[in-house]
Amino acid sequence: MLHLSNLVGPAGGRKNRKRVGRGIGSGTGKTSGKGQKGQKCRSGGSPHPWFEGGQMPLQRRLPKRGFTNIFKKHFEIVNVSDLARCAGADPVTPEVMKEKGLIKKTGAVKVLGCGELKESLNVHAHKFSGSAQAKIEKSGGKAVNL
């Protein structure tokens, strides 16, 4: 019968930890298997993993490229097919889109023309792609720039 009291693990499944610094007879005494002197025998004596032995580090060897435009305007993207979720709301503003979970924050919104639109909606956004504007107006709605 199998009980917790007589469970036995597989042979060789558990290894005892290496006890270092316990006398010269143990094989890992005195210097604890770390050799004589040098950086790696000291406590905390190992350089960071990306250290290249004093060679010029990779992130300093590679040339710098490009720049970050701090004035770039970031738009949240909404597709025409997603606007179907806002049916019944008139007009469809960024606040309504946020309520319906189409965007995360009510900043600048751009509507793209992926998908189809069945209902006529008055959509208020900061930018529209050409195809999105055409699809909204084709369904009988209006695309209004904020």
Query: Containing domain of residue 90, as a range?
Result: 75-145
> Total domain count for the chain?
1
pLDDT tens for 89-107 read 888 999 999 998 999 987 8
- Whole-prediction pTM: 0.56
Judged against a pLDDT cut of 90, whether residue 127 lies above it is answered with: yes
Domain membership of residue 103 (yes or no) is yes
Domain membership of residue 69 (yes or no) is no
What is the rounded CA–CA span in Å between residue 59 and residue 57?
6
Q: Is the dihedral of CA 87, 88, 93, 97 positive or negative?
A: negative
88 confidence band (pLDDT: 50, 70, 90): confident
67 confidence band (pLDDT: 50, 70, 90): very high
3-class SS of residue 125: strand
Domain membership of residue 109 (yes or no) is yes
Cis amide bond preceding 63, omega within 30: no
pLDDT tens for 23-40 read 999 989 999 999 999 988
User: Phi first, then psi: what are they for 134, rounded to 5°?
Assistant: -65, -45
Residue type, 44: G
CATH number at residue 118: 3.100.10.10
